[in-house]
């Protein structure tokens, strides 16, 4: 295994802590005390400003900089590095009233109106110009301010399903985008197979958005619209980045991504910024996403043990340089899920140290103090609304001490590469074929299987170098770029390829010669037909089951795992394995163990809820279970933090080279 180069930025050598702060929420007299308490707790970074447009520009063209000047001064003088947000996620009412067409329309054609946030359509040229204008104004004033060390563009692009819009602005922009992509409308008709139901267009101006059709629109139409919508986010972000680069040299530009969110191509946005940020809410995500009832109970106050880690590894791989921050870390109960329990004591520290183990440069808690009003009044902060310490503050303080004790860590090792692409999730959700099929969750389940074996995983996009990895996993990539197919053919490690991979062209067609299309050089077979299975219908093997999906194949590959009734679950051809069904956890465990062992990787039998991660010479162990577990003896090293027997929410850090 090859260690990565330690980043050149010395700040990144040791992970920093920070918080999100809203000086505009609090009397100015409280600011100095707040800043002093942050520093005393071990925080050195503070994010501000991202929702403050109505205070920065209370009337059109009239700016009120005084309060923000003073806030930055107070924070900077306390020794805090300021991460300044552009306020474009919350345009003020006067702007919406002047520019009503900037509002997005939802898929049902309803306006998505002012009154919360993200009330804009990414395709609206007028609003994009306004976003650039306010970004320029803020950057002109603070771009070279010594306390300002980084920028956040906007806030959580796409939150509340805000990537797609079915507005007039979006329709016009989509037509231009199509003209640029296809050149002629005949090319578009052919690419999409529009002959199918007389859907042929005579000009790009005949193309509509794919919503509100009588039955489903052409999946190729949807895929183009998803690509277009993603590109609009990229362009919107890039316009701000260009302003910031020119007016604020030397500062990092970051955006805060979300969890389990695939509505735009994060790899494309990440290519324009310096640091991939993300907002980590393990309990909210457990409750909001597709976890089993058993997991919801077992991990109600911890979060499923792979939620945070999956995203750490995803966003570390998202940026070409591997730089990433947790810019919003859940510090206690949140307000926005259907049920909002409190973390077990210790979890805030555990989540913080886990980010460290995965290579974060920064963990910043959301938020400093709980605001007693408005939408998130039930969202915890490090302080309660009355400024008393909330439990998260003590855990942050403890984490700061731990980090100091652990010292700078090396980068995570290169062991397993898991390849994920955003269009994979677009394709499978546009055309699940079996209800609920999603490439994102296929990736997550493969990731869980690998992590239960104690393996470290990098999640990378197609096209990233595979050098140094012992095992490469493609959980589900319907569209395989030619370059990736060639990489896989040259790759010397073990390869696991999951269902539906290679089953579609870039234009959402079944490839010539059938699936796996361009993968046929490494998978010498042909998928003759596919099945999706209703709940309860399964083909059972030795302790595992084929569920949800079957790729029936024929060709030169060898059956490796076969259900009792003869249905093939896993095919093998030398170092290449093909998983012809959903990565059900027991089946994925058998498969990944075989592949890892063939790859020369050491695997561990971890108790339920225990997870490991290496960083340089250290191995971190995290107990997500709600009962004590023991780190197996196969994990070598001496504890420098904690001990082998871990209570709930406890952490142990071993000093020794990882396996």
Active site members:
156, 328
Q: Of 65 and 201, which CB lies nearer to its own copies in the complex structure?
A: 201
Is it true that the peptide bond before 367 is cis, omega within 30 degrees of 0? yes
Helix axes 307-318, 347-357, angle to 10 degrees: 30
Name which position in 7, 126, 341, 639 contacts its own copies (CB under 8 A).
Answer: 341
Q: Answer whether 552's CB lies under 8 Å from 537's CB.
A: no
Q: Of 388 and 633, which CB lies nearer to its own copies in the complex structure?
A: 388
Q: Of 2 and 378, which CB lies nearer to its own copies in the complex structure?
A: 378
Q: Which of 145, 139, 150 is nearest to 11 (CA)?
A: 150
Q: Six-digit token pair at 542?
A: 């030795």
Q: Of 389 and 636, which CB lies nearer to its own copies in the complex structure?
A: 389
Q: Of 53 and 422, which CB lies nearer to its own copies in the complex structure?
A: 53
Binding region for its own copies (CB under 8 A) out of 11-19, 142-150, 339-347, 609-617? 339-347
Residue 410: count of CB within 10 angstroms of its CB: 17
- By the rule CB under 8 A, 563 interacts with its own copies: no
Q: Which of residues 247-286 bind its own copies (CB under 8 A)?
A: none
**Minimum gap (Å) between residue 445 Cβ and its own copies:** 19
Q: Of 166 and 420, which CB lies nearer to its own copies in the complex structure?
A: 166
Give the largest CA-CA distance in the chain.
Answer: 75
- By the rule CB under 8 A, 295 interacts with its own copies: no
- By the rule CB under 8 A, 117 interacts with its own copies: yes
**Minimum gap (Å) between residue 160 Cβ and its own copies:** 4
Name which position in 111, 183, 407, 600 contacts its own copies (CB under 8 A).
Answer: 111
Number of residues that bind its own copies (CB under 8 A): 109
Name which position in 84, 169, 188, 220 contacts its own copies (CB under 8 A).
Answer: 220
What CA dihedral angle connects 132, 138, 143 and 147, to 10 degrees? -140
Q: How far apart are CA 426 and CA 431, in angstroms?
A: 8
Q: Six-digit token pair at 360?
A: 């974060």
Q: Which of residues 12-51 bind its own copies (CB under 8 A)?
A: 24-25, 51
Q: Six-digit token pair at 56?
A: 């920065």
- By the rule CB under 8 A, 531 interacts with its own copies: yes
Look at strands 549-555 and 416-419 and give their pairing. Answer: unpaired
Q: How far apart are CA 47 and CA 72, in angstroms?
A: 10
**Going residue by residue from 441 to 470, which x/- string records binding to its own copies, judged by CB under 8 A?**
------------------------------
What CA dihedral angle connects 363, 364, 365 and 371, to 10 degrees? -170
Binding region for its own copies (CB under 8 A) out of 246-254, 364-372, 489-497, 596-604? 364-372
Name which position in 2, 5, 184, 213 contacts its own copies (CB under 8 A).
Answer: 213
Q: How far apart are CA 21 and CA 34, in angstroms?
A: 9
Q: Answer whether 112's CB lies under 8 Å from 119's CB.
A: yes
Q: Which of residues 150-189 bind its own copies (CB under 8 A)?
A: 159-160, 162
Residue 536: count of CB within 10 angstroms of its CB: 6
Binding region for its own copies (CB under 8 A) out of 71-79, 307-315, 385-393, 614-622? 385-393
- By the rule CB under 8 A, 520 interacts with its own copies: no
Q: Of 59 and 521, which CB lies nearer to its own copies in the complex structure?
A: 59
- Work out the angle at residue 108's Cα, subtended by the Cα atoms of residues 102 and 110, and round it to the nearest 5 degrees: 40
Q: How far apart are CA 392 and CA 368, in angstroms?
A: 10
Q: Six-digit token pair at 28?
A: 């100015």
**Minimum gap (Å) between residue 439 Cβ and its own copies:** 16
- By the rule CB under 8 A, 552 interacts with its own copies: yes
Name which position in 529, 556, 627, 636 contacts its own copies (CB under 8 A).
Answer: 529
- By the rule CB under 8 A, 64 interacts with its own copies: no
Q: How far apart are CA 436 and CA 584, in angstroms?
A: 14
Name which position in 146, 534, 543, 566 contacts its own copies (CB under 8 A).
Answer: 534
Q: Which letter does DSSP use for residue 361 in this model?
A: S
Look at strands 494-497 and 471-474 and give their pairing. Answer: parallel
Binding region for its own copies (CB under 8 A) out of 11-19, 201-209, 322-330, 648-656? 201-209
Name which position in 16, 124, 136, 221 contacts its own copies (CB under 8 A).
Answer: 221
Name which position in 8, 197, 250, 633 contacts its own copies (CB under 8 A).
Answer: 197
- By the rule CB under 8 A, 90 interacts with its own copies: yes
445: left (phi over 0), alpha (psi -120 to 50) or beta: alpha
In sequence order, what are the beta bridge partners of 553? 527
* CB-count burial class (<10 Å; 0-12, 13-18, 19+) for 232: buried
Name which position in 3, 64, 168, 200 contacts its own copies (CB under 8 A).
Answer: 200
Question: Looking at the chain, how many residues does it have?
Answer: 659
Binding region for its own copies (CB under 8 A) out of 237-245, 374-382, 481-489, 582-590? 374-382
Binding region for its own copies (CB under 8 A) out of 27-35, 382-390, 409-417, 612-620? 382-390
**Minimum gap (Å) between residue 367 Cβ and its own copies:** 11
Q: Which of residues 393-452 bind its own copies (CB under 8 A)?
A: 431, 433-435
634: left (phi over 0), alpha (psi -120 to 50) or beta: alpha
**Minimum gap (Å) between residue 650 Cβ and its own copies:** 18
Q: Which of residues 307-336 bind its own copies (CB under 8 A)?
A: 332-333, 335
Q: Of 319 and 349, which CB lies nearer to its own copies in the complex structure?
A: 349
- By the rule CB under 8 A, 61 interacts with its own copies: no
Name which position in 98, 144, 290, 296 contacts its own copies (CB under 8 A).
Answer: 296
Q: Of 478 and 616, which CB lies nearer to its own copies in the complex structure?
A: 478
Q: How far apart are CA 494 and CA 637, in angstroms?
A: 28
Q: Of 210 and 454, which CB lies nearer to its own copies in the complex structure?
A: 210
**Going residue by residue from 605 to 624, which x/- string records binding to its own copies, judged by CB under 8 A?**
--------------------
Name which position in 151, 365, 491, 508 contacts its own copies (CB under 8 A).
Answer: 508
DSSP string, 451-462: HHTT--EEEE-T
Q: Of 197 and 249, which CB lies nearer to its own copies in the complex structure?
A: 197
Start-to-end CA span in the chain (Å): 10
Q: Around 387, how many Cα atoms within 13 Å sit in the side-chain half-sphere?
A: 10
DSSP string, 471-504: EEEES--SB--HHHHHHHHH--SEEEE-TTTT-B
């Amino acid at each position: 295994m090859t260690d990565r180069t330690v980043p050149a930025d010395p700040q990144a050598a040791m992970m920093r802590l920070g918080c999100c702060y809203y000086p505009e929420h609090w009397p100015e007299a409280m600011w100095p005390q707040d800043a002093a308490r942050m520093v005393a707790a071990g925080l050195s970074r503070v994010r501000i400003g991202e929702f403050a447009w109505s205070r920065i520009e209370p009337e059109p063209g009239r700016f009120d900089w005084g309060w923000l000047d003073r806030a930055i001064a107070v924070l900077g003088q306390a020794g805090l590095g300021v991460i300044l947000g552009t306020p474009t996620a919350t345009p003020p009412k006067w702007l919406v009233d002047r520019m009503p067409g900037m509002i997005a329309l939802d898929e049902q054609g309803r306006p998505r109106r002012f009154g919360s946030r993200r009330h804009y359509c990414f395709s609206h040229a007028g609003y994009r110009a306004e976003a650039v204008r306010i970004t320029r104004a803020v950057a002109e004033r603070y771009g070279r301010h010594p306390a300002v060390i980084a920028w956040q563009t906007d806030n959580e692009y796409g939150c509340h399903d805000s990537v797609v819009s079915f507005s007039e602005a979006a329709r016009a922009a989509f037509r231009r985008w199509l003209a640029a992509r296809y050149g002629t409308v005949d090319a578009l008709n052919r690419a999409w197979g529009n002959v199918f139901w007389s859907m042929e267009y005579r000009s790009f101006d005949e193309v509509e958005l794919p919503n509100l059709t009588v039955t489903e629109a052409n999946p190729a139409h949807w895929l183009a619209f998803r690509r277009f919508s993603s590109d609009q986010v990229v362009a919107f972000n890039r316009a701000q980045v260009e302003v910031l680069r020119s007016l604020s040299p030397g500062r990092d530009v970051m955006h805060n991504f979300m969890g389990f969110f695939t509505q735009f191509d994060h790899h494309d946005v990440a290519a324009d910024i310096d640091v991939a940020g993300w907002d980590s809410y393990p309990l909210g995500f457990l409750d909001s996403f597709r976890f089993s009832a058993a997991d919801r109970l077992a991990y109600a106050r911890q979060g499923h043990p792979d939620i945070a880690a999956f995203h750490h590894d995803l966003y570390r791989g998202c940026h070409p340089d591997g730089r990433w921050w947790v810019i919003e870390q859940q510090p206690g109960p949140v307000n926005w899920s259907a049920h909002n329990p409190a973390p077990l004591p210790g979890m805030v520290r555990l989540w913080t140290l886990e980010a460290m183990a995965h290579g974060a440069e920064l963990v910043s808690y959301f938020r400093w103090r709980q605001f007693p009003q408005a939408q998130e009044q039930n969202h915890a902060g490090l302080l309660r609304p009355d400024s008393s310490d909330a439990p998260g503050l003590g855990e942050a303080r403890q984490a700061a001490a731990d980090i100091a004790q652990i010292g700078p860590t090396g980068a995570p090792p290169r062991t397993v590469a898991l390849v994920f692409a955003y269009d994979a999730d677009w394709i499978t959700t546009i055309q699940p074929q079996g209800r609920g099929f999603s490439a994102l969750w296929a990736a997550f389940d493969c990731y869980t299987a690998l992590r239960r074996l104690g393996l470290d995983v990098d999640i990378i996009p197609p096209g990233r170098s595979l050098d140094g990895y012992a095992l490469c996993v493609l959980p589900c990539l319907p569209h395989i770029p030619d370059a990736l197919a060639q990489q896989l053919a040259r790759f010397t490690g073990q390869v696991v390829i999951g269902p539906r991979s290679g089953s579609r062209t870039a234009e959402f067609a079944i490839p010539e010669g059938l699936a796996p299309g361009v993968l046929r050089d490494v998978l010498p077979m042909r998928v003759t037909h596919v099945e999706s299975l209703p709940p309860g219908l399964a083909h059972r093997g030795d302790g595992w089951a084929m569920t949800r999906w079957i790729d029936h194949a024929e060709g030169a590959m060898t059956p490796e795992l076969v259900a009792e009734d003869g249905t093939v679950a896993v095919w093998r051809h030398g170092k290449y394995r093909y998983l012809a069904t959903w990565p059900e956890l027991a089946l994925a465990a058998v498969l990944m163990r075989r592949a890892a062992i063939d790859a020369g990787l050491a695997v561990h039998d971890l108790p339920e809820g225990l997870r490991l991660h290496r960083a340089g010479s250290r191995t971190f162990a995290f107990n997500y279970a709600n009962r004590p577990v023991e780190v197996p003896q196969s994990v070598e090293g001496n504890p420098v933090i904690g001990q082998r027997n871990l209570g709930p929410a406890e952490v142990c850090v071993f000093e020794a080279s990882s396996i």
